[in-house]
Chains A and B, each alone.
Chain A
Amino acid sequence: MTMPGAFEPSPVANYLPTTAIIEEAENFTARDRYFRLSLERPLGHRPGQFVMVSVFGLGEAPISISNPPGDAPTLEMVIRNAGSLTQVLHSYGPGDAIGLRGPYGHGFDLHDFLGRDVLFICGGLGLAPLRSLIRAVIDRRGEFGRVMVISGCRTPAEEIYRPDLTAWAERGDVDIVRLVDNAANMPWKGRVGLVTEPIAGLKLDPAETVVAMCGPPVMYKFVLLELAGAGINGDRVFVDLERRMRCGVGKCGHCQINDIYCCQDGPVFRFSEIAHLKEAFL
């Protein structure tokens, strides 16, 4: 690689990926593969940010950063086999090299959560970006009130980051609700149902709770209704909006909703700031 320092996007390095080597790869589910990459230097990211992953010849895809911020020159992510590029990435393993640029976007700001009760609502692959924040919160567990994680997916076979979920549950100071839409004929100790269902049972303190959520587009409308029912104000709900993205830096126009670009102004938004955008929650 001849272009140094691409992790601090400079005008020249714009769009130019650097190389990272896969250290560990594991299939979490039939279509989700976990990767840990070693980098030349720490990413310097915030939870909720993303990187553009490249395979030369096939293009790029935005992928969320799963690991918490820190000094380690590491990047963790989970990639779903969803198309032309991600299918090829699923054949990649330790030692293989991929291209990276970023981190991009506005992630979560830890200050919005400090001292509060924190509720994470993750649908399916939505746990991938939220894990970065959950880990950051747990690392400084003492500085937060209650910490609650609702993690749902379609079937038991589709759950990602299972060891993490188990470890968090074992701590005792984090409330974990794991649930699936359908557990038919599969071993499953968690609950069956939609991520909206456990919310009422958590007996949230509307004045103290801050929510971070990420999941498939259909999830948002229903969760937001449920949260509104629980009296939680839109300015304390943070959502992660994923749209088609080609450039990652607010130029290509694909992720535009009204006057915002999800990549540059998001992907994490305070709900109250975008509640009026009718296209945000289709």
Chain B
Amino acid sequence: MISYLADERRVIQWIRHLAAETPVFFPMPHGKVNFRFERVDEASELQFARYRPTIIAPNSFLTPTKEEIFKYQRVGPGRYELTPAVETTFQILAGVRPCDLKAIKLMDDVFADGERDPYYFQRRTNTSLIGYACPAPCDEMAYCESAGSLDWRDGVDVMLTPVGDRMLIQAYTERGEALTASGDFDPCDDPDAELQRHLDERPKPFGRQLHAPVDELPAILERHWDSPLWDQHVERCFSCGTCNLVCPTCYCFDVKDVSALDGSSGSRTRQWDACMLTTFATVAGGHNFRADPAARQRHRVKRKFQYLNERYDSGAFCVGCARCGRQCTTGIDIFDIVNDIVDHDRAAAGGAS
């Protein structure tokens, strides 16, 4: 690993330099209070300090909201020619926070499960990640430390770690080394000391804290299948799916064909779906396996803190970014739901003993 030091100005210069040759996406302010990843051009104002998790997580660059998987073209009676979608544009996601970095690692697991998903991995291999270690929680909602993602670095090409008024720049991969070669950086002899300084400078505890360690949550949640809390936490739910769509570890999709008017050509696409939507688990004939909003909320929460951890053994599938709680218009926060269940579990255990 090669390590450098530089002030933020030079780091930004370097990112601009990269952007001149390659599409680089960076979190930029959008609207009144939000951020989104936008393509860097000459006019972009790049800043690391001001940040709130982007509306949609950067995994949309790996699994776009709507993506063509192949085109079809009728070439004769009943005969079709299929052309699978090939996406080889190289892109750089810069300023990606640790929560999102961990989420991308989780997506790597999901899309490698069983058959490797070619559409995901062709984008993944063509994407470079430049991470940024948060020196402070992005706002009062974040609970990344508690969710176990705050120190995530796995999968990055380059990691930027703020230390004092400078940044530690570390290339973790060969690609990272190639990228950093063009920066006007000073060498860093003792990266570990710098990292330690970063940790020392960081507030403790960092952000909100879940009421139980994430590795205890599967067992706790398992004990509360029938809890009335599920109903309470959906009283105000719109089943709008926002919490799914903004979540960096939600990946469910629907498959749809888009065809020319006469049906002779078109494409098969997949587009994001959301398990909080009413018809997500409806089968033909009308039976809905999760007709009740509480059942859907339970599925979502358990997916993040129990089911998928059990399947992939990669820790919690919630990375604590708090996007869902921030974007839910009605103020439902998965953090509160989980804590509520933990509190009830503790109370019940206390009462029993």
Q: Do chains A and B touch in the complex (CB under 8 A)?
A: yes
- Are B80's CB and A14's CB within 8 A? no
- Mark B262-305 against chain A: 1 for CB-CB distance below 8 A, else 0: 01001010100101000011111101011000010001001100
A86 to chain B, nearest CB (A): 7
In angstroms, Cα B225 to Cα A20, docked, is 45
Q: Is B230 located at the chain interface by the 8 A CB criterion?
A: no
Q: Is B335 located at the chain interface by the 8 A CB criterion?
A: no
Q: Which residues of chain B in 74-122 are interfacial with respect to chain A, using CB atoms and an 8 Å cutoff?
A: 74, 77-82, 84, 110-111, 113-119
Q: Which residues of A have CB within 8 Å of B308? A: 259
Q: Residue B79 contacts which of A82, A97, A278 (CB distance < 8 angstroms)?
A: A97
Q: Which residues of B have CB within 8 Å of A3? A: 82, 84
- Are A250's CB and B113's CB within 8 A? yes
A14-B115, A243-B289 known; A99-B80 Cβ under 8 A: yes
- Mark B54-81 against chain A: 1 for CB-CB distance below 8 A, else 0: 0000000000000001101010011111
* Residue in A9, A97, A216, A259 with the greatest tally of chain B CB atoms within 10 Å: A259
**Tally of A interface residues using CB under 8 Å:** 46
- Are A244's CB and B275's CB within 8 A? no
Q: Residue A56 contacts which of B80, B114, B283 (CB distance < 8 angstroms)?
A: B80
Q: Which residues of B have CB within 8 Å of A217? A: 287, 289
Q: Residue B257 contacts which of A11, A21, A56, A278 (CB distance < 8 angstroms)?
A: A56
Q: Is A166 located at the chain interface by the 8 A CB criterion?
A: no
- Are A251's CB and B289's CB within 8 A? no
A15-B268, A252-B270 known; A243-B283 Cβ under 8 A: yes
Pick from B136-144, B160-168, B173-181, B248-256 the stretch touching chain A. B248-256
Q: Which residues of B have CB within 8 Å of A2? A: 81-82
- Are B117's CB and A251's CB within 8 A? yes
In angstroms, Cα B70 to Cα A2, docked, is 13
- Are B253's CB and A259's CB within 8 A? no
Q: Is A240 located at the chain interface by the 8 A CB criterion?
A: no
Q: Is A57 located at the chain interface by the 8 A CB criterion?
A: yes
Q: Residue B263 contacts which of A12, A56, A96 (CB distance < 8 angstroms)?
A: A56
Q: Which residues of B have CB within 8 Å of A259? A: 306-308, 310-311
Q: Residue A247 contacts which of B255, B275, B295 (CB distance < 8 angstroms)?
A: B255
Q: Is B13 located at the chain interface by the 8 A CB criterion?
A: no
- Mark A57-77 against chain B: 1 for CB-CB distance below 8 A, else 0: 111110000000000000000
